[in-house]
């Protein structure tokens, strides 16, 4: 007798779920700051010979900020937490009679839907699909600037875009295979800007290495020793330490920009034309620099033998 009472009790609990046909199960999830903003719309059909006043359905994960609406109006509801599932019981504003259809939308937030491992994010979410679900559709929108890592999506889904975000979509239609009773989605994604930055840095390093190598080959082909050039620059820098401050400033410019225009020295240092001309003449007398007149301009070079 006790066994029969237990069976009847569970049948009463499960009747609102299994007895009502779910013609459409449309779910969406938007990832915002590692949180899941979920929405599920169920189109239910009463194919029983009884009138239904409430509808119960399970959702996976801990839900918060739950809202249940229909036709733009909020419905009263309650939530029962049982292990890893949360049952939402929606109280219908009017009894649902045999042969009638009703649409209910659930909105909620999921806290633990995304795990972060350094620069990689793992999204994991499950939707419970009972035998009375006829059509199922689930859409996931990744945050702007994020993309799937090496097509790591289960079940498989071809990523698309709305012009701002990567979109993933799954569809199942009657008969839904038994293995999808708990439809679990796993998506591994990353911040594309961070990934691109690593690529740009790597490319810059490669470009710098190539430039240095080509420069070395060019100098070697012309019989110019890189070591001697560096030693020459070091010796010049040591020598200019004995010069006056203004002279040092001009000499450093010439060392860094050999063949510099005299007018550019005036612009960069802020010295007057007369002062620059006087200092250059003094440096030329000491054998530190040489001038070459090109048209009306003077180009300043280091002396061939410092």
Q: In 3D, which of 132, 102, 122, 113 has the Cα closest to residue 22? A: 132
Average pLDDT on 162-175 reads: 93
- In tens, the pLDDT along 78-94 reads 999 888 888 999 999 99
Residue 122 predicted with pLDDT over 80: yes
Q: What is the DSSP letter of 132?
A: T
pTM over 0.85: no
What sign for the dihedral angle of Cα 195, 197, 203, 208?
A: negative
pLDDT at 18: 46
Q: Which of 205, 225, 204 is nearest to 216 (CA)?
A: 225
pLDDT of 294 reads: 84
Protein fold of 229-302: Arc Repressor Mutant, subunit A (1.10.10)
Pick the more confident residue, 59 or 223: 59
Quick: pLDDT tens for 259-281. Answer: 899 899 999 989 999 998 898 88
Task: Give the per-residue pLDDT at 9.
Answer: 40
Which CATH fold topology does 16-190 show? Immunoglobulin-like (2.60.40)
* Mean of per-residue pLDDT scores for the chain: 83
Per-domain boundaries in the chain: 16-190, 229-302
Q: Which helix (H) or strand (E) holds 217?
A: helix 192-221
Two structure tokens written together for 194: 């961070």
């Amino acid at each position: 007798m006790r066994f029969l009472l237990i069976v009847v009790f569970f049948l009463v609990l499960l009747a609102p779920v299994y007895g009502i046909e779910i013609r459409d199960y449309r779910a969406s999830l938007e990832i915002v700051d590692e949180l899941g903003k979920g929405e599920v719309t169920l189109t239910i059909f009463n194919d029983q010979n009884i009138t239904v006043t409430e509808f119960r359905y399970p959702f996976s994960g801990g839900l918060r900020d739950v809202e249940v609406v229909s036709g733009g109006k909020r419905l009263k509801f309650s939530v029962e937490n049982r292990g890893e599932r949360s049952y939402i019981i929606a109280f219908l504003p009017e009894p649902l009679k045999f042969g009638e259809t009703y649409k209910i939308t659930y909105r909620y937030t999921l806290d633990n839907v995304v795990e972060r491992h350094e620069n990689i994010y793992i999204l994991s979410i499950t939707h419970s699909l009972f035998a009375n679900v006829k059509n199922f559709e689930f859409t996931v929108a990744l945050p702007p600037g994020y993309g799937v890592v090496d097509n790591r999506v289960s079940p498989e889904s071809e990523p698309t875009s709305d012009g701002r975000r990567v979109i993933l979509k799954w569809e199942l239609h009657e008969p839904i295979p038994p293995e999808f009773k708990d439809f679990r989605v796993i998506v591994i994604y990353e911040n594309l800007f961070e990934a691109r930055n690593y690529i740009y840095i790597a490319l810059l390093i490669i470009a710098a290495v190539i430039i240095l190598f080509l420069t070395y080959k060019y100098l070697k082909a012309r019989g110019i020793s890189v070591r001697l050039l560096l030693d020459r620059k070091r010796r010049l820098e040591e020598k200019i330490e004995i010069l006056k401050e203004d002279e040092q400033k001009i000499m450093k410019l010439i060392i860094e920009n050999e063949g510099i225009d005299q007018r550019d020295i005036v612009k960069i240092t802020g010295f007057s034309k007369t002062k620059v001309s006087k200092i250059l003449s003094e440096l030329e007398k000491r054998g530190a620099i040489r001038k070459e007149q090109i048209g009306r301009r003077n180009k300043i070079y280091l002396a061939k033998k410092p």
